[in-house]
Structure 1
Amino acid sequence: MITTRMANERGSANFGWLNSQHSFSFGQYYDPAHMGVSALRVINDDKVSAGAGFSTHGHSNMEIISFVTQGEMIHKDSEGNEQRLPAGEFQLMSAGRGIMHSEYNASATEPLHFLQIWIQPNVQGGQPKYQQKRFARREGLSPVITPDGQNGTLSIKQDAQLSELYLTERRAVDVSLASARRYYVHVISGSLEVNGVALSAGDGATIKDEAQLQLTKHSEHAVHALFFDLP
């Protein structure tokens, strides 16, 4: 079964300096029909004005992934990490027992566009951890976050995997699925078919009770998407 979450159906919040689209309930947006998928709790599509950002605030017991699609972010936290996150790099912050951090647009003239993703951990507390990495752009599905950090991936405190999907040719990727697992696809750019269901930028889909999945490029433009394998 494939259940779509179309971009124009998402919740939204606009504070002037921030324009955010919420795939799932977040902040003042609440929809009991959209509370996340398995351990995947948040996908916020955030556009931040030049020179603006999120002032220092706290998190605990959450795995927080940031992926910049346009511009560059400045990250600072209470563990002493101070990093720039350019477009194309993944950041994973394990909040553990508690961490304070801030996120700002590094540019005084250009907007910042990034995805903020929260996954609930299967281990509570512990030392906060920060990871950041750029992965080579490969055709097809490439793991970037795994439970054990295998093959140079970032390691997450959950039985979950995040893969990056690139399709630049007119081809399809076939994926075998486990019946006990849940899956979610979020399209960043381009047009993608998921077992014949068409998705465009900002669209998402929950997949369950499917044995096989075919991810097919649906237009002449390249496809960039995220694929979540969840408990």
Structure 2
Amino acid sequence: MGEVKLLGGLGFSPYVNRVEMALKLKGVEYEAIAEDLKNKSPLLLQYNPVHKKVPVLIHDGKGIAESLIIVEYIDQVWEGPSILPKDPYQRAMARFWAKFIDEKCISATWKACWSTGEEQAKSKDESVEALKFLEDEIKGKKFFGGDNIGLVDIAANFIGYWLPIISEVKGVQLLTEEDFPNLWRWANEYCSDNFVKEILPNKEALVARFKSR
């Protein structure tokens, strides 16, 4: 199926992590190339001249940018467990929730942890509102994808693993068992999955990185 390379950062990235999960899920062999985003390589600028950021998947000499687009591409190109549902409606809804996570959840929760004052208070309110929608969506399900990990679970990787770690470091509690029991259960189920555990970055290293910010 052609040579596969993944351009990622020198540090940890939940977006690069998404692509790693999709590749591993499909059993695709690839070369991981670490990118110094402060000194971007000609390879990165060649294959992602618009945004100039990672991740970038290079398959058979062609580059694909943006993590969710890459995940869908991987699902379409390689055989293996389906990442997106086969049913057109369910597929559309998976795309909707993945986009919702990117546009409404990640930015709000990140700001809630790292900002201060009025901006932090506003971001906390936005985070709670967004997480409530996911709380309802995951109710009665093992994963967002049903019995198996799918696109929305991969998209929500930041919420399930990274957010609790950042919250712990910053002392800002957003995703709690009391307020979001369904989402809390999903996060534990997701992070305990043997496949996921193999790919998630080391917690101690992640804590050290955030403490150094």
Tell me the TM-score normalised to structure 2 length.
0.29
Structure in which a larger fraction of residues adopt helix: 2
Tell me the TM-score normalised to structure 1 length.
0.27
